């Protein structure tokens, strides 16, 4: 699938968020929230997607539950949205697992398997029968038939059929998950095993029914602002390619939402770059064959849950979010910090970092602008207090981190970057092999990004990948190189 293909499911998710924000800002949050499904599908309205209006409303209700920050799995169907809205206001901190599956919205797809279609000609060559290593295919009544007991779903028969008559039926969420964490449960609906889930968000993007949601923290952030606390925004580099305005206008637009100050996480990325390039030199001098980067939260979850053997080769340098949050808390110890993220994985990282209080994704930020009717391109411009480097701002693009680290390496220790552009079953096997052999045969600096295209391909991005790359690229090009910036804020 191409990165960031347009989807009606995104439209629905964003509409729910806008309505929730509007409800929060209205005179009666609880009642307005309860009415969201009815406002979206009033009596007699069209039923665009599902069997009937009641099913549509039930699903919209569940989408609102996720928008309020709760698990569908743990919420009773009989609980009213108004009660949940009330509960959301009382919540002290976000729930642990950042994803939730809407059983109502889940299609209960047919199980993944190999299927012989009517196009089968019952040919004489029978490459399918001959290729199958498991003896699962025979020809009956002039057509190939697969014995499900013997079939291992390898797909070899589908590859060799001269008529392309054999197809592999996939379950999109299962097929997208690189670690086998989401599978069809006994009832046929998708279920996430959180002991395996690395929060990469691929299932969120892959499900054509929009059945996997991030549990939003938007209400928590709105509440913090309303209570008059000093709330500070930390913008991950990817956001600079996301909205139709300049970075300086975006800063102003975010101040209009009620934030007290806005920092670029690229500032923290500069600290990461400096530390990581030093570390690379040290490791190679001490005889290491390779090092991998450590800034992608999805990759860090992968290491912890599935790939502990690579740990000795992973950089100990902290993420740009870590350093940025440290700087912000030092400047403003009393502030509530909110990380603006392109993906769900950063929610997990934030839970483990006491300096990061909340995470908002770009869909939520966009919805907030809509709810307040803020035209970002009509906002004024203001400068970020600390100017980040071109390299730090380019972290969001695949290859950007390795390139940044390379910029600061001494000539005698050159890096040969290897770019893992998206985690999938194959790239995870590659990483396992490098760890086992203690050497990577094609390079010594491995950049790992869980998402294809880097952070700009994150599950919660708004802009199309191509346009985002262009927009962010222009910002990077007008920025100074890290070699020329003097604001040395390194603290380790």
Partner 1 sequence: MSKKISVKVCLGTTCFVMGSANLQELIEIVPAKYGEKVEVSGVPCLGLCSIDWEFSKAPYVKVDEDIIKEATVEKVLSAIDNKLKEC
Q: Site residues (CB under 8 A) for partner 1?
A: 4-6, 10-11, 14-15, 18, 40, 243-245, 363, 366-367, 369-370, 373-378, 462-464, 466-467
Which CB sits closer to partner 1, 32 or 463? 463
Which CB sits closer to partner 1, 428 or 460? 460
- How large is the C-alpha radius of gyration of the chain? 24
- CB burial of residue 421 (10 Å; 0-12, 13-18, 19+): middle
User: Measured from the CB of residue 66, what is the shortest distance to partner 1 in angstroms?
Assistant: 18
Which CB sits closer to partner 1, 19 or 184? 19
User: Measured from the CB of residue 469, what is the shortest distance to partner 1 in angstroms?
Assistant: 12
Torsion of the alpha carbons at 117, 119, 125 and 129, rounded to the nearest 10: 0
Which CB sits closer to partner 1, 164 or 378? 378
Q: How far is CA 221 from CA 103, 106, 375, 486, in A?
A: 27, 29, 21, 34
Which CB sits closer to partner 1, 78 or 373? 373
Whether residue 26 contacts residue 43, with contact meaning beta carbons closer than 8 Å, is answered with no
User: Measured from the CB of residue 129, what is the shortest distance to partner 1 in angstroms?
Assistant: 42
User: Measured from the CB of residue 428, what is the shortest distance to partner 1 in angstroms?
Assistant: 30
Which CB sits closer to partner 1, 236 or 269? 236
User: Measured from the CB of residue 405, what is the shortest distance to partner 1 in angstroms?
Assistant: 31
Rounded CA separation 408/334 (Å): 35
User: Measured from the CB of residue 378, what is the shortest distance to partner 1 in angstroms?
Assistant: 8
User: Measured from the CB of residue 26, what is the shortest distance to partner 1 in angstroms?
Assistant: 12
Rounded CA separation 352/344 (Å): 14
Strands in 243-318 per DSSP E: 261-264, 291-292
Q: Cα dihedral sign for 481, 399, 296, 92?
A: positive
Instruction: Give which of 479, 326, 331 is closest to 339, Cα–Cα.
Output: 326
Coil vs helix vs strand at 428: helix
Which CB sits closer to partner 1, 21 or 166? 21
Which CB sits closer to partner 1, 281 or 467? 467
Which CB sits closer to partner 1, 249 or 275? 249
Q: Characterise 172 by phi-psi region: left (phi > 0), alpha (psi -120 to 50), beta (else).
A: alpha
Which CB sits closer to partner 1, 113 or 256? 256
Which CB sits closer to partner 1, 40 or 409? 40
Rounded CA separation 189/201 (Å): 18
Instruction: Give which of 97, 102, 52, 43 is closest to 77, Cα–Cα.
Output: 102
Which CB sits closer to partner 1, 15 or 279? 15
Which CB sits closer to partner 1, 93 or 377? 377
Whether residue 236 contacts residue 265, with contact meaning beta carbons closer than 8 Å, is answered with yes
State which H helix or E strand residue 157 sits in: helix 156-160
Rounded CA separation 108/96 (Å): 26
Rounded CA separation 334/245 (Å): 31
User: Measured from the CB of residue 240, what is the shortest distance to partner 1 in angstroms?
Assistant: 14
User: Measured from the CB of residue 481, what is the shortest distance to partner 1 in angstroms?
Assistant: 29
CA angle 473/325/224 to nearest 5° reads 105
Whether residue 326 contacts residue 355, with contact meaning beta carbons closer than 8 Å, is answered with yes
Helix 8-25 and helix 218-226: axis angle, to 10°? Answer: 30
- Indicate the length of the chain as a whole number: 492
User: Measured from the CB of residue 253, what is the shortest distance to partner 1 in angstroms?
Assistant: 8
User: Measured from the CB of residue 86, what is the shortest distance to partner 1 in angstroms?
Assistant: 25
Q: Under 8 Å CB-to-CB from 20, ≥6 apart: which residues? A: 33, 36, 64, 67, 68, 216, 218, 219
User: Measured from the CB of residue 377, what is the shortest distance to partner 1 in angstroms?
Assistant: 6
Torsion of the alpha carbons at 246, 249, 250 and 252, rounded to the nearest 10: 170
Instruction: Give which of 136, 123, 35, 132 is closest to 80, Cα–Cα.
Output: 35
User: Measured from the CB of residue 9, what is the shortest distance to partner 1 in angstroms?
Assistant: 11
């Amino acid at each position: 699938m191409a990165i960031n293909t347009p989807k009606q499911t995104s439209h629905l998710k964003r509409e729910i968020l806008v309505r929730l924000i509007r409800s929060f800002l209205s005179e009666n949050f609880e009642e307005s929230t309860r009415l969201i499904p009815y406002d979206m599908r009033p009596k007699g309205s069209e039923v665009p997607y599902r069997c009937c209006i009641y099913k549509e409303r039930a699903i919209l209700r569940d989408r609102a539950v996720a928008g309020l920050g709760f698990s569908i799995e743990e919420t009773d169907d009989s609980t009213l949205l108004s009660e949940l809205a009330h509960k959301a206001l009382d919540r002290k901190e976000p729930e642990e697992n950042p994803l939730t599956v809407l059983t109502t919205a889940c299609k209960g797809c047919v199980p993944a398997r190999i299927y012989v279609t009517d196009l089968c000609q019952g040919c004489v060559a029978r490459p399918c029968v001959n290729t199958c290593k498991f003896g699962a295919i025979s020809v009956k009544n002039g057509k190939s038939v697969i014995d499900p007991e013997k079939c291992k779903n390898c797909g070899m028969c589908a590859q060799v059929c001269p008529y392309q008559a054999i197809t592999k039926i996939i379950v999109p969420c299962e097929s997208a998950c690189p670690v086998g964490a989401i599978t069809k449960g006994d009832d046929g609906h998708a279920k996430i095993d959180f002991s395996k889930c690395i929060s990469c968000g691929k299932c969120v993007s892959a499900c054509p029914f929009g059945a996997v949601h991030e549990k939003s923290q938007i209400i928590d952030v709105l509440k913090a602002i309303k209570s008059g606390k000093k709330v500070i925004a930390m913008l991950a580099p990817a956001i600079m390619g996301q909205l139709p305005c300049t970075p300086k206008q975006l800063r102003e637009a975010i101040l209009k939402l009620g934030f007290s100050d806005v920092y670029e996480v690229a500032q923290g990325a500069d600290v990461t770059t400096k530390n990581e390039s030093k570390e690379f030199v040290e490791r190679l001098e001490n005889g290491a064959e390779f090092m991998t980067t450590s800034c992608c939260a999805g990759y860090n979850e992968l290491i912890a849950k599935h790939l502990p053997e690579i740990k000795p080769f992973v950089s100990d340098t902290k993420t740009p979010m870590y350093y940025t949050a440290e700087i912000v808390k030092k400047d403003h110890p009393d502030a509530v910090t909110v990380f603006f993220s392109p993906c769900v994985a950063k929610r997990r990282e934030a839970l483990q970092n006491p300096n990061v209080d909340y995470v908002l994704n770009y869909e939520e930020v966009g919805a907030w602008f809509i709810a307040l009717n803020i035209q970002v391109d009509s906002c004024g411009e203001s400068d970020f207090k600390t100017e980040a480097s071109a390299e730090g701002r380019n972290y969001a693009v695949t290859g950007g981190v390795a390139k940044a680290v390379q910029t600061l390496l001494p000539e005698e220790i050159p890096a040969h970057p290897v770019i893992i552009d998206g985690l999938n079953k194959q790239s995870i096997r590659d990483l396992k092999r490098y760890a086992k052999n203690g050497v990577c045969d094609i390079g010594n600096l491995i950049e790992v990004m869980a998402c294809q295209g880097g952070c700009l391909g994150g599950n919660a991005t708004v802009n199309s990948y191509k346009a985002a790359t262009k927009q962010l690229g222009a910002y990077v090009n007008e920025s100074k190189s890290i070699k020329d910036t003097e604001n040395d804020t390194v603290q380790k």
